[in-house]
């Protein structure tokens, strides 16, 4: 059994803040008052608010695409290359999805960078993410339930 200790962490930022310089260690986690969990990461080019990304062990992000592997998160802002910010990994989240995404849809990576779909694609399932609304035609996003999602590029069928 491990003994955990340490001071409570206080953050002076909203989850949609974009930092030009690193304000926290990459991989720092924080909770909001609703119990949603976020991780502090470096951005990547072409990231939009609500883009899906994968991250590696160094906490570097890549826009999520078919056949990607790694932990998965949703950008809370347009955190582009050489910027830093918060990405959601747990709780009720808003994420970009393709036009046909349906309420309670399964979550699969697509060839559209940063977006997901509910079309069954072998090897591209995002484990730990469930669709909880249909796609909003105005925003191109839907509501999701996240539980530390991961993509492993292997067939589950």
Q: DSSP for 39-63?
A: EEEE--TT--TT-EEEE-TT-BEEE
Averaged confidence pLDDT in the chain? 90
pLDDT score at 6: 47
Task: Parse the chain into domains and list their residue ranges.
Answer: 24-151
At 35, list the tokens: 């119990």
Res. 7: pLDDT tops 60:
no
Band (pLDDT 50/70/90 cuts) for residue 153 is confident
Band (pLDDT 50/70/90 cuts) for residue 1 is very low
Q: How much is the average pLDDT of 13-19?
A: 89
Nearest to 76 by CA among 104, 102, 40, 101: 40
At 103, list the tokens: 């309420």
**Which of 11-15, 40-44, 62-66, 123-127 has the lowest average pLDDT?**
11-15
CB 54 within 8 A of CB 151: yes
State how far the Cα of 94 lies from the Cα of 138, in Å rounded to an integer. 13
Percent of the chain with pLDDT over 70: 90
Q: How much is the average pLDDT of 61-76?
A: 96
CB 107 within 8 A of CB 149: yes
For 157, counting Cβ atoms within 10 Å of its Cβ (0-12 exposed, 13-18 middle, 19+ buried), the class is exposed
Res. 16: pLDDT tops 80:
yes
Q: What is the pTM of this model?
A: 0.91
State how far the Cα of 39 lies from the Cα of 79, in Å rounded to an integer. 13
- The model's pLDDT over 87-126, given as tens digits with 9 standing for 90+, comes to 999 999 999 999 989 999 999 999 999 999 999 888 899 9
State how far the Cα of 145 lies from the Cα of 148, in Å rounded to an integer. 10
Residue 33 CA to chain centroid, in angstroms?
19
The CATH architecture to which 24-151 belongs is Beta Barrel (2.40)
pLDDT score at 2: 38
CB 63 within 8 A of CB 52: yes
pLDDT score at 139: 95
User: End-to-end distance of the chain based on CA atoms, in angstroms?
Assistant: 36
For residue 107, what are the contacts with CB-CB under 8 A and spacing of at least 6? 116, 118, 125, 126, 129, 130, 131, 144, 149
């Amino acid at each position: 059994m491990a003994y955990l200790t340490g001071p409570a962490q206080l953050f002076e930022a909203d989850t949609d803040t974009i930092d030009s310089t690193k304000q926290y260690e990459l991989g720092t986690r924080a909770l909001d008052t609703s119990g949603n969990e976020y991780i502090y990461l470096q951005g990547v080019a072409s990231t939009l608010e609500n883009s899906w990304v994968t991250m590696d062990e160094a906490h570097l992000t890549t826009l999520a695409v078919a056949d990607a592997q790694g932990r998965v998160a949703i950008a809370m802002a347009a955190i582009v290359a050489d910027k830093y910010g918060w990405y959601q990994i747990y709780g009720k989240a808003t994420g970009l999805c393709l036009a046909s995404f349906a309420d309670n849809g399964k979550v699969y990576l697509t060839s559209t960078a940063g977006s997901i779909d509910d079309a069954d694609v072998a090897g591209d399932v995002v484990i730990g993410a469930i669709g909880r609304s249909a796609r909003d035609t105005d925003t191109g996003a839907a509501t999701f339930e996240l539980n530390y999602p991961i993509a492993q590029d292997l067939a589950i069928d």
